[in-house]
Structure formats: C-alpha cells, structure tokens
A = this chain, B = another copy of it.
Amino acid sequence: MKLYTYFRSGAAFRVRIALNLKGIGYEPVFVHLAKGEHRASEYARVNPQALVPTLVLDDGTRLNQSLAIIEYLDEKYPQTPLLPKEPLGKARVRSLSGLIASEIHPLNNLRVLQHLKRALGQTQEQIDAWYRHWIADGLAKLEAELSSKNKCCFGDTPTLADCCLVPQIFGAKRYNSDLSPYPIATRVFEHCMKLDAFDRAQPSKQPDAE
C-alpha cells in the first residue's frame, strides 16, 4: 500500500493515524503542498482532485478523501475498529468527524489561506485571525458535543473522530489558538497523543518534515 502524503496535511495525518491504529504498513510518497506539487500534471493522474492524501492499494486502485479512505480501511481491516458497531454510535462518530472535517478544516487549509493572501490581499496577521476564528467557532461546537466522562471523542478507544480531532488541534496549536475554552477536547487530544499510533503519525516525525 502506498500513501501520498505531506507531513503538514491534516487530512493525510488522519489517514496515517488510522493506518497506524490498524497496524497496516505503507510506503509513503511525498507530495510537497507548499511547493504546489499536488497541482502538477503527474499528480493529477494519481488523484484528479489534486489533494492529499491518496491511498494506492496493492492492485493499483486509488482511493481519495481521507474519511472515505478510513471508512474503507475500517471495513476491510476490522482489527481495531474505528467506528462503533451500532448505527446510532456510528452516526455519532461520523457527526463529530464531519463537524471537524466539514466545518473547521476546509476553512483553514493551505489553498484557502493562499487565496486570502493572493486574491483578497489579506496580511499574515489577518490570515492568522481568520484561522483562529474558525478554530474557535468549530471547537466550541465540538466541546458542546463531547462528554468529560470519555477518554476519547466517543468512549474510551480511538475512533474516526479522534483521527480528525488530533490533526485539527495540531493546526490550532500551530496558529497559537487559545485552547483553554475547550478542556474536554484538549484532554482527548492529550490522551490520544500518548498512544504510539498517534505519536508516530504527527507531522514532525514524518520523513518529509522540514
């Protein structure tokens, strides 16, 4: 299995965690987003969406979109399940994941920040404020959904939702977001980061880290 990845991509980070949690080995292929390598015609043949991650199965089949990839892995490799068995639990985990993946992350990814700079003429300070605004907006919603009784986003073992939360908190820290209003999310983050699968997936431990 090959994973097209970039150390700082939150979406690739999610899939790295899931692969680690399931104990699936993979060969990383590095796509330098900041240098625009994802927009090269060569990569368009790998992923027409021009985004990382892409997971290439051993038979050459290519999968993209991080949540779709993780759901696929969870079906094919049932060890260390990342979704509860019962439909209501699944809906809950998918909702928390969707909240991060559809309400926070898309507003703060690299191409949006670049667009704010290039097309809207925003300064770095204004871009940082934009980033923190959507982190605060989204994490407040997430915090309202989490229970302080759980070690993870749902129950005490990692799910798809934790694969989404941890990279998002990494982004928030990088932009110096104030995390004090989100004690439950912060505690879940700290719990997960003590687990080897999360720790090994973090940006600074990737071979392409700068």
Contacts and interface: CB of A to CB of B under 8 A. Distances in A.
Interface stretch (A1-9, A102-110, A195-203): A102-110
A61 interface: yes
Interface string A83-107: 0000110111011011101110111
A50 B88 CA distance: 20
Contact of A76 (B87, B95, B120): B87
In the complex this chain forms, how many copies of it are found?
A: 2
Interface string A132-164: 010001000100110000000000000000000
A83 B62 CA distance: 18
Contacts of A51: 103, 141
26 contacts: A48-B145, A49-B141, A50-B141, A51-B141, A63-B88, A63-B95, A65-B95, A65-B98, A65-B99, A66-B98, A68-B90, A68-B91, A68-B92, A71-B90, A71-B91, A72-B87, A72-B94, A75-B87, A101-B102, A103-B106, A106-B106, A115-B133, A120-B120, A120-B122, A120-B126, A120-B130
